[in-house]
Every structure is written in structure tokens, then in C-alpha cells.
Amino acid sequence: MSRRYHLALKRDLLSAPPAMPCCGEALLAGLARRRGSTMAVRGPRQLRRSLFRGVEAACPPGVSLDRTGRELRIGGIDPTALRRNVAGRIRIQAAGKSGGHCARAFVRGLFIRAGYMQDPEQGYHLELVLPGKWAFRLLRLCSVSLRVPFRFCRRRGRIVAYLKGARRLVRLLKAFESFDRALRLEDLIATRQLLGTVNRQVNFETANINKQVSASERLREQIGRLLEHADQEIWTDALRELALMRIRYPIDSIEALGKRCIPPLSKSAVNHRLRRIAALYREIFEPAKGGVARE
């Protein structure tokens, strides 16, 4: 699985600053880790610069930022009060009394913190490792507000939220306001659906052709045995003409075979005569149980 796709997505999300101060707080609530009375943000080396810039843009005025190695410590914010305020806003939005902007920012923060999205060229899967039960409860409210049906499981003692299916990922990307990636994913879905339809049609046509070829081969064998039969009085002029036509033009369709007859025959007429030839073969060479074959 490629790691480059979800890292590029996180970089895009960090480059878009929160629309409102309350969205900045929701982003910090999902993104930052609690360190006692302070909060801290830690990210992979590939995202560290973008991550720290995004945190600085999301922090309210009067907040102190202290960068120490891989971490960016955030002072001046009470983690408990921050989470309580964000939870209250998300509950209001889940009740339908406001837009889902804080819910979108919170889920975005969770994804940047510990999320993974598989490259859509390889599959449709997204997961978030949640930092605790408080995040689990808030994410369930966000699912209602954003209409994104997350599912949950436990892995190594941690709660993991995940999405499977292309349409659900498109909806989440739109909730992230990553519209370019959502459009590219929709194009990929449409292309794969078109290719699947074409493949099914080709397979259907191939199966029909193989069926027709097998039936024609079997009928020509039956006609050959009938033409070698000692009693040629079994034939009517119409059946014999069509039998010889079938031997002469083995790959013709029923419609094409009818057009070669004089006068031309319809498909139903050709089918009727071919069924009579097959019945004649069964009568002579495949008599009913206990009967005797005609010689």
C-alpha cells in the first residue's frame, strides 16, 4: 500500500486554514495530544513543517507555541475546557441546529493526527485510530452531522474507526472540502464502472458466440450422420436444402443462413427447420429407451 497518497492528502488539509475560530478549536481538539495541563502536536518527518504551520494558523491569539524537536507544545489552552466546548458545538450541529463546520474540522484533525487512506488506485479504505472514548463519542456525533457512516472496531486495545467503499470516501473528502480529490475519485469510479460494463458485455457476447459455435458444430455432425444414413427418403426437399446449406456455411448465423435460402427464410422458419433436423436425428440414432434405431 502506498503511503504517499494519504500524506499528500494530509498536506492538502493542513494548507487550508480553518474558516472560523471555532473550527480552529475543533481542529486542535482532534489533532493535539494532551500533555498534562498543556497540549502538543507530533507528526511524521514528511509533514512536520506543514503540520506546525497548520497548528499556528488554527491557534487563537495569546497562545504560546514551543517547538522542541518532533513536538510543538501549545500553552495557554486548557485541554479539558477545549474538548468540552468542541463537544457542545458538535452536539448542536448533530441535532441539526447549525452547520457541520466544527464536525468537519474535528474529523479532519483526527485524520491528520492518526489517519490513513489507501490509494484509490489500489482500493477504497480509510481508518482513524482514536485517542480515547471521548473521541469515539464525538466521532459518532460527527457521523450523524456529516452523514458519513463510520464503523468501529478494536485493535490492540485502541478504538479504530474505518470506512469502506468508494462512495463513502467521496462523501468524506467532500466533508474535508477536498473537492479536487473527490472529483478525481468520482472519475476513477466512473471509469472502473464503464470498464466493468464493457467487460461484462464482451464476456456475454463471447459466451453467446461460443454457444452458437458449439451448437452449429453439433448440428453439422448430426447432419453428416443423417446424410450417410442408408435411407435418404427421410429428407424433405426443404430440410435437405437447409442441411446442405448448414454444412456449406458453418459459421453463418441463423439470420444469414435464412437469407441464403431461395426464397429467403425468416429466423423463426430456419429455427423451425433446424429443430426438425435435430428431432429427425434423435428419432433415428437416439431412440427412446427400449426402442430400436432405424437403419
pLDDT tens, 27-77?
888 888 887 777 888 877 788 888 888 888 888 887 888 887 778 888 888
**Cell for 144?**
450523524
pLDDT given for residue 284 in this prediction? 86
In this prediction, residue 292 has a pLDDT band, given cuts at 50, 70 and 90, of very low
* Average pLDDT of the residues in 4-16: 87
* Average pLDDT of the residues in 234-245: 88
Segment 168-222, tens digit of pLDDT = 999 999 988 899 999 999 999 999 889 888 888 888 888 887 887 788 888 888 8
Before 17, cis peptide (omega within 30)?
no
Spatial separation of the C-alpha atoms in residues 109 and 177, rounded to whole Å: 13
Segment 89-137, tens digit of pLDDT = 888 887 775 668 889 999 999 998 889 999 998 999 999 999 889 999 9
10 Å Cβ neighbour count for 171? 17
Hunting for cell 493535539 — which residue is that? Answer: 32
pLDDT given for residue 128 in this prediction? 93
In this prediction, residue 3 has a pLDDT band, given cuts at 50, 70 and 90, of low
Does residue 139 contact residue 107 with C-beta atoms inside 8 Å? yes
Does residue 162 contact residue 127 with C-beta atoms inside 8 Å? yes
* Average pLDDT of the residues in 79-96: 86
pLDDT given for residue 289 in this prediction? 43
pLDDT given for residue 98 in this prediction? 61
Whether the per-residue pLDDT at 293 is higher than 60: the answer is no
pLDDT given for residue 151 in this prediction? 94
Long-range Cβ contacts of 128-134 (<8 Å, 24+ apart): 128/160, 128/161, 128/162, 129/155, 129/158, 129/159, 129/160, 130/158, 130/159, 130/160, 130/161, 131/33, 132/159, 133/159, 134/83, 134/87
DSSP labels for 185-216? HHHHHHHHHHHHHHHHHHHHHHHHHHHHHHHH
Predicted structure pTM score: 0.69
Segment 133-153, tens digit of pLDDT = 999 999 998 988 888 999 999
Q: What are phi and psi of 290, to 5 degrees?
A: 95, -10
10 Å Cβ neighbour count for 97? 8
**Cell for 19?**
474558516
Positive or negative torsion for Cα 182, 117, 101, 140: positive
pLDDT given for residue 1 in this prediction? 41
* Average pLDDT of the residues in 9-25: 86
| Cα pseudo-dihedral 226, 228, 231, 237, rounded to 10 | 60
Q: What are phi and psi of 3, to 5 degrees?
A: -90, -15
pLDDT given for residue 99 in this prediction? 65
Phi-psi sector, 18: left (phi>0), alpha (psi -120 to 50), beta: beta
pLDDT given for residue 183 in this prediction? 93
Spatial separation of the C-alpha atoms in residues 48 and 70, rounded to whole Å: 8
